[in-house]
Amino acid sequence: MGLRVFDLQFVAFLATAILSLISILYFYILILYPTIFTPLRDIPTPPGRSLLTGATLRLPGGPHTHDPRYWRETIPNDGLIRFYLVGGRERLLVTSAKALSEILVTKASHFVKPEFVRRRLYYVTGNGLLLAEGEEHSVQRKSFMPVFSFRHVKDLYPIFWSKARELTEVLADQIAINNSKKTKRVIEMRQWTSRATLDIVGLAGMDHDFGSLKDPHSQIIQQYKKMQQSPSLFETLFGVLLSPFAAVKDASVVLRVPTRRMKEIKEASRFIRNVCRAIIREKQDKADQSSSQIGIDLISVALKSDTFSNDALVDQMMTFLAAGHGTTSVALQWSVYALCKHQDVQQRLRQEICEQLPLVTDDNVGISASDIDRLAYLRAFCNEVLRFWPPVPSTIRESLHDTTVAGHYIPKGTIFSISPAVTNHDAELWGPDANVFDPERWMREGCANSGGVKNSHGFLTFIHGPRSCIGDKFARAELACLVAAIVGRFHFELEDQDKVEMFTKGGISAAPADGIRVYIEVVDGWQA
């Protein structure tokens, strides 16, 4: 009996000691470190930080004081703002062109994607070009440059246009379902933009047509949907509770919890990997059977370079499939939203397209790069969409060793937030109308390629330096063809006209959280 009482007392003492240690750790991370011990304490920080949720949590309808764009406009700074995430995780927001140039260009080798980011993205993108660092990244990027050169992208416009035509056909069919007058119908655009861009990346980038636009039960689309699931309430609460420990060690700890969502994400990743392997085998078999010249798609270039194993090539395909189709799909969703919110822009764009391009329904007439590129207002519209709603609103870098940025001492392991969503709206770089959607800024004399920005780093959608987006020309051309096709054939209006603000749901890219539900109506001039 006495021994049992002793055991209970020991357990109670041990539990109290553990709870005390945890409390001390929380107190240090959430209170002492940010206010006293951080070596970055001289860098300005937003007021009103919550001890647990930090300075970035903002709920729909909540104040804008938690918005990094608001910080940039209201907090005096010389290029850096210090802020805290849930659980006291410290970050530096980069706010000046000079600081961006240091991190992305002049000292690019000093900064890498943190390990926890690599772990988070691995199941979606594979360990390809997006996650590679250092010399490995340089070698891979050099190998794939021919695929994304301006000369090659010009030859892909007919593919972009053919899939854009197919998208308009599918949308027209959707309008006609149970609609004898074939007038207009409410359609949620997210699934269709995703299907179109996936087919384009497959066909133009890998010489493989996934056919997801015409297949309502497309398995690969279903697998990508699984990967985009939001965390459950349990995962969210678990992550909040463990976030102070993540601030000390590893922010990807939640990924190791065997939840149903993580199981489905891993299963989806395996499915897509198997699809990629099958495409590679098919390509290898064709190359063995034919002596004709190898093509210039992603797989052909990689096979020709002889620098990638089959497993490494699967990783590259995973990267270009996920990053390539997801970001352009998001850009097209925001394009539709912009058209709905700015009916005058939609009308002017449609007029230019219908006057200068052949009917999208005419499959006997092809489209060349020059046909699309000469449309000045289309180019201006797409540029403004990419500026105003960058598909990837934020990325992060970690310092590999002690260094300086914007004159501040930066210790090894410091995490930087590089935000196109902030920089692309910076009034110091874009002028007082930086927060106004205005394609006209790209139509002014001498501004067709810059939009009038005062520093090239002010347009951050595709990043800059050796880690800039290798597929920017591909993405711009693809978006232009898709926008031209749908605007020429359809008129768009939001289903909910009173919906003023749209909160984004992020992953690799930030799409409208509730999707884009619009009335679509076939317009005169381009209808079948």
Task: Kindly state the DSSP code that residue 88 receives in the 8-state scheme.
Answer: G
Side chain identity at residue 169, one-letter code: E
Q: Is 469 annotated as a binding residue?
A: yes
CA distances from 437 to 21, 205, 338, 422 (A): 52, 32, 8, 15
Enter the tokens of residue 341: 């919110």
For residue 387, which phi and psi values (nearest 5 degrees)?
A: -75, -50
Question: How far, rounded to the nearest angstrom, does the alpha carbon of residue 412 sit from its chain's CA centroid?
Answer: 27
List the one residue out of 255, 294, 478, 483 whose CA is nearest residue 377. 483
Task: Kindly state the DSSP code that residue 406 receives in the 8-state scheme.
Answer: T
Cα–Cα distance measured from residue 376 to residue 354, given in angstroms and rounded to the nearest whole number: 14
Are residues 390 and 420 in contact, defined by beta-carbon separation less than 8 angstroms?
yes
Cα torsion 127, 133, 134, 140: sign: positive
List the one residue out of 170, 162, 490 whose CA is nearest residue 347. 490
Q: Is residue 361 classed as helix, strand or coil in its secondary structure? A: coil
Question: What pairing do the DSSP bridges indicate for beta strands 184-188 and 395-399?
Answer: unpaired
Cα torsion 283, 285, 288, 293: sign: negative
Q: List Cβ neighbours of 336 (8 Å cut-off, separation of 6 or more).
A: 189, 193, 486, 492, 516, 518
User: Annotated binding site: which residue ranges?
Assistant: 469
User: Annotated binding site for heme: which residue ranges?
Assistant: 469
